């Protein structure tokens, strides 16, 4: 059995760890509330914009037009992988990294697959096995629509210029604080509407359907990327809060076990001292 000093040092060390994990949990909980509000408020707008484009597409007999909808034979693929800049968030980053690696190695086996990473953790791991053409880690320092729009424009230009035949987003979609869903979402080309018959088309168009569509598509792509990053950002804080909660609970359990061990060791030491005193007294009497 370890000596009392060693056990006491371990108890103090675990207590310090508990303070850190508990503080990180509270910080993540505060950030999660703000990030969750942002993505919750944005989803209705993004969904309405998508529905409008579907309606316009249907009104134009399913033809969106332009380079954005060009369906090509897929030989070059770009995966935009969204992770976080920091760790200590459980399996948040590893789930996205695994999904991206599986997508590149298996689903697109035999094709040229390049990556554009958003988040330091994904870039550090994936750059060892895949070609990363760029990383946008700084976006999380100032996560705004305008900054995200610049990235969306760069990605869109790569597709329009013929550098890639297909572009996909790989990220964690926020469901709740305890659940993050690894998601693969087509960014370009624009996927035709499957249920075109169910889409309402009672709109009056001015100046014309074609001009409206060509103006809305870039806006829709920027919104799609911004929503994905916002989703990932909220999911990150949810994952970190959950991870720190579990870490605090585990540290509490370990501390309680060590306290029990410490008390048993202390009791055994006191018992031994009493026995030594009693034995010494008996020796003096004899």
* Contact call for residues 196 and 62 (beta carbons, < 8 A): yes
Regarding beta strands 76-82 and 179-188, do their DSSP bridges make them parallel or antiparallel, or are they unpaired? Answer: unpaired
Q: CA-CA distance, 212 to 203, in Å (whole number)?
A: 12
Candidates 18, 39, 79, 89; catalytic one: 89
Paired tokens of 59 = 């009104």
Structure tokens, 245: 């909660």
Helix (H, G, I), strand (E, B) or coil at 79: strand
**167, two tokens:** 């572009």
Count CA atoms closer than 13 A to 200's CA, side-chain side: 6
**Helical segments of 60-173, H only:** 92-102, 120-126, 145-160
Distances (CA, A) of 257 to 11, 105, 264, 269: 10, 45, 11, 18
CA distances from 207 to 53, 164, 200, 203 (A): 16, 32, 20, 12
89 is catalytic: yes
Strand pairing category for 112-118 and 179-188 = unpaired
Which sequence positions are flagged as catalytic? Answer: 89
């Amino acid at each position: 059995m370890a000596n009392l000093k060693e056990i006491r040092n371990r108890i103090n060390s675990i207590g310090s760890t508990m303070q850190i994990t508990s503080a990180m949990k509270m910080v993540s909980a505060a950030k999660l509330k703000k990030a969750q509000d942002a993505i919750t408020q944005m989803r209705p707008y993004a969904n309405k914009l998508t529905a409008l484009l579907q309606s316009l597409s249907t009104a134009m007999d399913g033809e969106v037009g332009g380079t954005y909808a060009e369906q090509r034979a897929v030989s070059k693929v770009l995966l935009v992988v969204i992770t976080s800049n920091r760790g200590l968030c459980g399996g948040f980053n590893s789930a996205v990294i695994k999904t991206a690696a599986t997508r590149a190695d298996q689903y697109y086996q035999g094709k040229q697959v390049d990556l554009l990473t958003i988040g330091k953790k994904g870039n550090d791991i994936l750059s060892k096995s895949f070609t990363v053409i760029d990383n946008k880690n700084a976006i999380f320092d100032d996560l705004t629509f305008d900054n995200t729009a610049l990235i969306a424009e760069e990605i869109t230009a790569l597709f329009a210029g013929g550098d890639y035949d297909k572009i996909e987003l790989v990220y964690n979609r926020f469901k709740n604080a305890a659940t993050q869903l690894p998601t693969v979402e087509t960014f370009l080309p624009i996927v035709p509407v499957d249920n075109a018959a169910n889409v309402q088309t009672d709109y009056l168009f001015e100046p014309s359907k074609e001009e409206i569509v060509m103006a809305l598509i870039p806006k829709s792509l920027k919104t799609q990327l911004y929503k994905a990053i916002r989703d990932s950002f909220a999911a990150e804080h949810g994952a970190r809060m959950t991870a720190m909660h579990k870490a605090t609970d585990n540290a509490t359990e370990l501390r309680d076990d060590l306290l029990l061990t410490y008390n048993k060791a202390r009791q055994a030491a006191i018992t031994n001292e009493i026995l030594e005193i009693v034995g010494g007294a008996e020796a003096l009497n004899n």
